Amino acid sequence: MDRDDRMRLAVLSDVHGNAWALESVLADVERHRPHRFVLLGDLLADGPAPARTLALLRALPNATCVQGNTDRYLADLAQVVPPRSEMPDLIQTWRWAVDRLGEEGRRFLACLPTDAMLETPVGRVLATHGTPGNDEGLLYPGRADTWADLNWHGARLLLVGHTHPPFVLETEGGTIVNPGSVGIPTPTGWRASYALVDLFGGGQIAVRHEQVAWDIEAYIAAFEEGIPLNRKAAPMLEALRLQVDR
């Protein structure tokens, strides 16, 4: 297949304010020379470097970005508090992130679309965080009830994030790709995960998942400098410390 008829997408999701993992992923992506970045949301919440992460993402060339559920929470915390009042520790962490992002960062998140359609050599590609039209929708390869009735909006390829395990799923509707998580990559042994998706003029789709090492110790140190811990972060940090000690 000729490179001239190919579009290469670098697909990243669930960075979660982890600038160290993102920097390692971007350094790895550079050698693959993608034509476009596709960012599938949950970009800044729950990590110790939301502002630094946002600066890295906004500097990317030819990037398409959609809004994840935690991006929506940060954009308007007022609409989160009533249904999430049972999780005050998470609200505290999100407020901490909003304070560091400022009004400009909040506006950036608020303006992101829930879905984005790309025109490619294989036809339409739909990017979303959870499921089309639902940033909290869940897709699992082993559960047909989570993907059998999706509205593909005429797309041949669906790019999703949210659940964190990387996968490729062939369905009657088309191909579904989850690149895994950059910032909280528990299913990949804490190696930051992303996907390279090659789209060819003949209709072929080739997907390769990549896993990249990153500076876990610096990430832990940043958490210890003052980000409010929540029920998700505490066990994650303990697991990361065990990873460092191996």
Q: In this model, does residue 1 exceed pLDDT 50? A: no
The C-alpha atoms of residue 57 and residue 52 are separated, in whole angstroms, by: 9
> What is the Cβ-side half-sphere exposure of residue 142, based on CA atoms within 13 angstroms?
2
| Domain 3-245 class in CATH | alpha beta
Query: What local confidence, expressed as pLDDT, does residue 243 receive?
Result: 87
| DSSP 8-class letter at 229 | P
Asked if the model's pLDDT at residue 145 lies above 70, the reply is: yes
The dihedral built from the CA positions of residue 171, 10, 17 and 42, taken in this order, carries a sign that is: negative
For the record, the structure tokens of 110 come out as 């608020």
32-71 per-position pLDDT tens digit: 999 999 999 999 999 999 999 999 999 999 999 999 999 9
pLDDT of residue 23: 99
Domain ranges of the chain: 3-245
Region 6-16: mean pLDDT is: 98
Residue 132 pLDDT grade (very low, low, confident, very high; cuts 50, 70, 90) = very high
Taking 80 as the threshold, does the pLDDT of residue 101 lie above it?
yes
Is 141 buried (19+), middle (13-18) or exposed (0-12) by CB count in 10 A?
Answer: middle
Q: Three-state DSSP class for 134?
A: strand
Q: What is the pLDDT of residues 104-127, one digit of tens each?
A: 999 999 999 999 999 999 999 999
Closest CA to 69 of 86, 83, 55: 83
What's this model's pTM, rounded to 2 decimal places?
A: 0.94
Contact 125, 155 (CB under 8 A): yes
